[in-house]
Structure 1
Amino acid sequence: MALAGALTMSAGSVAADTAKEEDCGHQAAIVSAIQKARMDRVKERKVQEAVLAGEVTWPERYNAAIPLFTGEIYKLKKRDLRKTDLGAQWKAACLAN
């Protein structure tokens, strides 16, 4: 009986880890798309339109995050963005939390 309970708890943990990995991956993809738009000189007010016109790899419900992330990314200097992979940084921070 104890073994069955341990296996069930372990399976639940794996499912939660997989869901978090997927969620963080979608968020990182959005951050990367916004960073690319910034580097391509897309005006801040046109970012959502430009990002959604590209190859979208995340579910539609994540589109609500675009304006939230855009403001923060557009505060950063372009010279800093050239040297940084914000998507990878975001994913690492997301998975760490």
Structure 2
Amino acid sequence: MKIVTAAVIVGLLASGAPVLAQTAKETDCAYQADVVDAVRQARLARVNERKVAAHVKAAAHSWPEKYMAIVPLVTPWVYEMKMRDVKASDLGAAWKEMCLGQ
């Protein structure tokens, strides 16, 4: 009986590793999506593109500081879009979907 229990535990641990990795990826993608949403909100608030990083940094945010590095990468993407597309689209959800697909 102990051998069967040990085998089951080992099997669960082995199968749990991808679940833990997936959870970490989901968390990472969620933080990235939050950053994209913050940049989108800055665009909707008509913040100058050069001031977006400072604007986002000054606002209260829930993601770890390392995700601030994403701001300069996504800002041109958001600011190149037409305003009607920025208003109509859920850019954070689109980013999260793309991130999870990788």
Q: Which TM-score bucket, shorter chain as reference?
A: over 0.9
Aligned-pair identity (%): 46
- In the alignment, the residues of structure 2 paired with residue 46 and residue 78 of structure 1 have an alpha-carbon distance, to the nearest angstrom, of 18
**1:32-70 CA distances to partner (integer Å, 9 max, x unpaired)?**
000010011000000001111112111011111110111
Count matched residues. 97
- In the alignment, the residues of structure 2 paired with residue 6 and residue 62 of structure 1 have an alpha-carbon distance, to the nearest angstrom, of 35
Answering whether residue 40 of structure 2 is matched by residue 54 of structure 1, we say: no
- In the alignment, the residues of structure 2 paired with residue 9 and residue 45 of structure 1 have an alpha-carbon distance, to the nearest angstrom, of 47
Specify the SS of the correspondent of 1:74: helix
- In the alignment, the residues of structure 1 paired with residue 7 and residue 81 of structure 2 have an alpha-carbon distance, to the nearest angstrom, of 52
1:69 maps to a residue whose letter is: V
Q: Which one of the candidate residues 36, 39, 47 is aligned to 2:41?
A: 36
Specify the SS of the correspondent of 2:80: coil
- In the alignment, the residues of structure 1 paired with residue 73 and residue 97 of structure 2 have an alpha-carbon distance, to the nearest angstrom, of 19
The residue number in structure 1 matching 2:87 is 82
- In the alignment, the residues of structure 2 paired with residue 66 and residue 83 of structure 1 have an alpha-carbon distance, to the nearest angstrom, of 21
Answering whether residue 95 of structure 2 is matched by residue 93 of structure 1, we say: no
- In the alignment, the residues of structure 2 paired with residue 92 and residue 74 of structure 1 have an alpha-carbon distance, to the nearest angstrom, of 20
Segments of 5+ residues of structure 1 without an aligned counterpart are none
| RMSD (Å) for aligned C-alpha atoms | 1.2
Give the TM-score normalised by the residue count of structure 1: 0.92
The residue number in structure 2 matching 1:15 is 20
- In the alignment, the residues of structure 1 paired with residue 68 and residue 86 of structure 2 have an alpha-carbon distance, to the nearest angstrom, of 22
1:42 maps to a residue whose letter is: V
